[in-house]
Amino acid sequence: MLYLFGVIAIFVIFSSVWGYFKNKDKRKYLFRLFIELSLVTILLFLFGPLFALSPIKIGYSTLKEGNITLYYPRNSVDMAREAMKQLQEAEEMNRDFYKNTFPMKVVLARSELDMLRFGSYPYAGGTGSELSLNIRFGRMTTGKIAHEMSHRNLAMLTGKSIPSPNWFNEGLASYIGKMEEYRRPKELQVDLDNGQYVIDILSMRGILGTSKWLLKIRQGKARVLYGQTYLMVKYLFDKYDQEKIYDFVVSLKNQDFEKAFAQSFGITEEQFHQEFINYIRNYKL
């Protein structure tokens, strides 16, 4: 989300500078621009994607337990307590790997419109960003919450907003969330045989890689992508062990992913991926 805001900010700056030089009454233009930008900023904090940072939360109350701060619709205490229970279970699932968890702001949405204004896909059960985790009560399983929490914990542990390529980031989050329902090895074997397997999964890294990932999802490959990356990371855990994977993740603080991967596991990403493909191709129940 911060990258999106960065792009929007650059556009606003260029548009404002262009408007300034184009207008004859520059003083009047600057005054109007100040009023418009102030109003938009206030709306973003009070009702938009910056809601979690706003000191004033209209129509919402706060429930805080441990590292989790939950903002929930006022007069929905029972809903908030049930959501907090799910959040704490998801946090424990993350703690099992990360050893520690980081402060987490969570916004409980009531509708598709709420999800949209908070900066999430309107029909999703929940999504995460650098600012908060947005969830819809009744639409989000504990495993999926743990998945979204993992993205935040991985970024905080490494100190990087994009610490790893999508295959590892999403796969680790799904592994922590125990989200094996997307694909079993035998099902992925069928995907490999019929050409549905995403061969170029390693290229989906950085901002452009995320765009490529989203394009694949729009093409109907969400279940294949999440199932494939889950099984890739599970294979990594099965081959080595959790402590080895944790040490590798910690090493991402000071190294880029490719170098850290090779040093930690003694093979390149490409070699690992080919090894995984061979495992799936020859998999037997």
Domain ranges of the chain: 2-46, 60-158, 166-281
Q: Degrees (nearest 5) of the Cα angle 208, 172, 129?
A: 55
Tell me the backbone φ, ψ of residue 205, rounded to 5 degrees. Answer: -140, 150
Domain 60-158 in CATH 3.40.30.160: yes
Helix (H) / strand (E) containing 136: strand 133-136
Question: What does the pLDDT profile of the chain (285 residues) look like in tens digits?
Answer: 544 555 566 666 777 777 767 887 888 878 888 898 899 889 989 998 899 999 999 999 999 999 999 999 998 999 999 999 999 999 999 999 999 889 999 999 989 999 989 988 888 888 887 788 999 988 889 999 999 999 999 999 999 988 999 999 999 999 999 998 889 999 999 999 999 999 999 998 887 888 888 888 888 888 999 999 999 999 999 999 999 999 999 999 999 999 999 999 999 999 999 999 999 999 887
Percentages helix, strand, coil for the chain, rounded to the nearest 5?
60, 10, 30
- Residue 233: how many other CB atoms lie within 10 Å: 22
